[in-house]
Structures are given as C-alpha cells and as structure tokens.
Structure 1
C-alpha cells in the first residue's frame, strides 16, 4: 500500500461577502478563525491574532466565524449573537474585541451595556435583537460550516482554505501564512 500524504480538511464555505473580515478582500494571505468568545484557548489566541494582523498589515485578510461550543461555554452563543447584533450596526470588530478583552465578564450582561453605549450602538435595538435571537441563524450557519469543514474545537484556523493543525503561536502562524502565500 502506497503511503499517502496527509491532506488537512478544507473550508467547505469559501470566504466571501457574508464574512466578517479585516484587511483587503484581495489579500494573498487569508486567515480564517472559527472561534468561541468564551473559550479560554480562543482568548489566549486573540492577542496573537491581533499581532499577526499588525505585523502582516495589508498583506493579510482575517476572517472570523462563530463556533460557540454551548455544551462547555454557556455564554458563547449569547456572545456570538451580541457580536452579530453589533455587526448589524456596523460595529462587529469593536464588539469582537470587547468580548475577547472582557472574556471573564461574559456572564455579566449589564457590564457590556455600558460598553455598548461607548461603542455608539443603539443599545435597545441590540438587546432586543439578542433577546429575540434575530442573528441566531447566522451564528448557526457559521457553526455548521465549521462542522462541515472539520472543525471540532476552538480555535480552529484555516490558512489559504486548508485547516492549520500547527501551534497557534505568532511565529508559526506567520510562517504558515507566508508559506501558503508562496504556494
């Protein structure tokens, strides 16, 4: 029997208009994260991803997709819906950052109400949309696209459409992105 090279799973839903992305849409380096706002590993990866973005600048397009693991993280779906409600008001990335930077306070929804005002959000609209689960379908679409792409934990990264199974440290991520860029 011939030895076959391992091929990591690939994204089943290509990066597109529906995605929350930072960086140029035509960037040659594309990093997709399936993340859970309550996951401590995602919280640890958050500043690393921010530094990757800083170091690579306009060469990188970063995409975030929701993957709330509700069986382990009871506030994860609420947080994802909150981020999506903020996105409906043009403030996804601000809320994304706020949620990760205050991960320990996710259970205190009142804590976030103060920040929502500072982000210049229509707080009443945001809270109503979250309470009525207006954006739950979007969160679950992200989740299912992750399942179909082989995501089984968070954070899971994809580089150039292929799942990245390496260590999510700064140097390894940048090296993998640069390697994928070269083809």
Structure 2
C-alpha cells in the first residue's frame, strides 16, 4: 500500500527530534497532533495525561510514550501559531512540557504578554525567549510538524496515532484506554 495515500497511518516516524514523554521503546507510542487554542485538544490532552498516569501505575513507566506535534489551525485559532512558537522557545531552554501544560491550562490567555508571563514563571531566560519569538526562530520546526500531519491525513485537531495507526474512536477515557491496551498486544 502506498503510504502517501494511506491516511490511517503515521507518515513521519517518531524520533528523538519529537517532544517525548516516556521512551520511544515503550509498548505503546501515542502521537498527538494538537493546537494550543483548540478546546478539544486541551480536553484530549487531559484525558491522555490521566490515561498515562493510570497505565504507568498498572504496567510501569515504559508502557506508554506520548509524543506531541504541533498542528496550529491559524485560520480558526489566531493565537495558536504564536503559542506553538512559545512552546518551542521554551523547549530550547529545556521546558517544553511545563509550558505545554500551561498553554493548554490557559487557552483563553495566549496573547504575547501572557506568553512572556508563563515563560517568566518557568524561570526561562526572557531576553532569549523574546528574541526567538520575534525572529520566529522555531517556525520551521512547527511547519515540519504541520507537514507531517498533513501527510498523515490530519486536517484538524486533535488527531491521535497509536503505534502509528490513526485513532478514530470517541474521545472518552474508556475508549482511548481500550485502544491503547489493544495496541500493546
């Protein structure tokens, strides 16, 4: 089957270049394409965090690996692109997951002043953070994520892939847990 046309599988394989929680050798690798201004992305991310805690307690820390890829939908979420850039600027200082959680927790407050406040609260180097935002240093990284999503058939967020296969079930803890556990066998 030609992968270019197979929109049910992940086109760009996961790698150490991705934002990773867990280990790539985990039994289940879950890739999320998300948008920081999308309320459903935030809800699904909260579901995934709960699922990860539950499965780690039951099966060990190496059971589930979470990967996040940016897919800002600028046409409907005007602050999503800038929030993704802020996440990448924080990632450059080793704080991706902390700002990632903050951005999803404060979706209604993604204007520049808030982004700087979040960065400051995390103890980031603010002049460096601002420089990277103003020069759009990380735009290529975000565009690579978007392109990988498009090549995998992603058209909106959130989009999940479990062990490289597109998840098409409902956004409930029960269905998502069942899909993850089934993928591990």
What TM-score, normalized to structure 1? Answer: 0.92
CA distance in 2, matches of 1:158, 1:179: 13
What runs of 5+ residues in structure 1 fail to find an aligned partner? 1-6
Secondary structure at the counterpart of residue 127 of structure 1: helix
What runs of 5+ residues in structure 2 fail to find an aligned partner? 1-5
CA distance in 2, matches of 1:111, 1:85: 14
CA distance in 2, matches of 1:33, 1:60: 13
CA distance in 2, matches of 1:74, 1:113: 17
Matches within 5 A, 1:1-183: 9-57=8-56, 58=61, 59-107=63-111, 109-182=112-185
Secondary structure at the counterpart of residue 23 of structure 2: coil
Superposed displacement of residue 24, structure 1: 1.9
> What corresponds to 2:3 in structure 1?
none
What TM-score, normalized to structure 2? Answer: 0.91
RMSD: 1.2
Number of equivalent positions: 175
Residues 115-172 of structure 1: CA deviation (Å, up to 9, x unaligned)? 3122111111111101111000000000000000010110000001010011121111
Residues 9-30 of structure 1: CA deviation (Å, up to 9, x unaligned)? 1111111111001012211111
